[in-house]
Amino acid sequence: ADAAGMSAIAAVVMSATTFAGSAQFAVTSILGGAGSAAAAIAAAVLLNARYAPISISVASLFRGPRLRRLLESQLIVDESWALAARGGRFDRRILLGAGLLLYVSWVSGTAVGALAGDALGDPKDFGLDGAFPALFLALLVTQVRTRMAAGAALAGAAIALALIPVTPPGMPIVVASAACLLGLRWRR
C-alpha cells in the first residue's frame, strides 16, 4: 500500500472494508503501477468472483434478517470455508468463528504493517512471498478426499495454468472455479 502511495490509514480502512487479500494486493499493485481506478476495481471484482460458488455452497447456513446474513457472509473467505468443510457439509460455527478470527488478524496485521512495516524489513527475507501459495495448497489437500475432488482440483489447476499467460490477473481463478462449479452441476 505504501508503494502505491496509500497512507497507513487508507491501508487499514481498505483492509477493514475489503476483507480479500488477493483483491487488495491487485488493487495496490495496479494503482502503484499507475493503473486506473477502473482497472483496479475490475481486477478486484474478477478476483472476488470466486466467492460466488463458495457462497452458494454455504448459503443454507445463513438464516435470519437480511442485514444479519449480509454481515455474517462477509466472514466467508477461502480459509474459513475450507476449515468449515466437514465431509460434504459445513459447520456454521467454524465458518463464522474462523472468519472472525481471520478478519481481526488481517486488519490488525495491516495496521502493524502500515505503521511499523519499515522496521520489519523485506517480507521476502521471511519467506512470506511463498506463504499464500503454501496456505492455499494446505487448504486444498484437506478437501481432496475423493477421485471427483482430485479431478476437479487438477482440472481447475490446468485451466488456471493455461490461462495465466493469456488473461488478465484474477481471470484464471475465476474461470477455473466456474468450470468446477459447472462440473458439479452436470454431475447431478
Instruction: Tell me the pLDDT tens digit for each residue of 158-167.
Output: 988 898 888 7
Residues with Cβ within 8 Å of residue 86, at least 6 apart in sequence: 94
Residues with Cβ within 8 Å of residue 91, at least 6 apart in sequence: 84
Angle at 142 between CA 138 and CA 74, to 5 degrees: 80
Residue 174: pLDDT above 60?
A: yes
The CA distance from 149 to 142, in Å, is 10
- Residue carrying C-alpha cell 466437514: 86
56 sits in which H/E element: helix 51-58
pLDDT of residue 31: 78
pLDDT of residue 6: 83
The pLDDT tens digits of the residues spanning 83-100 come to 998 877 999 999 999 999
CA of residue 1 relative to chain centroid, distance: 18
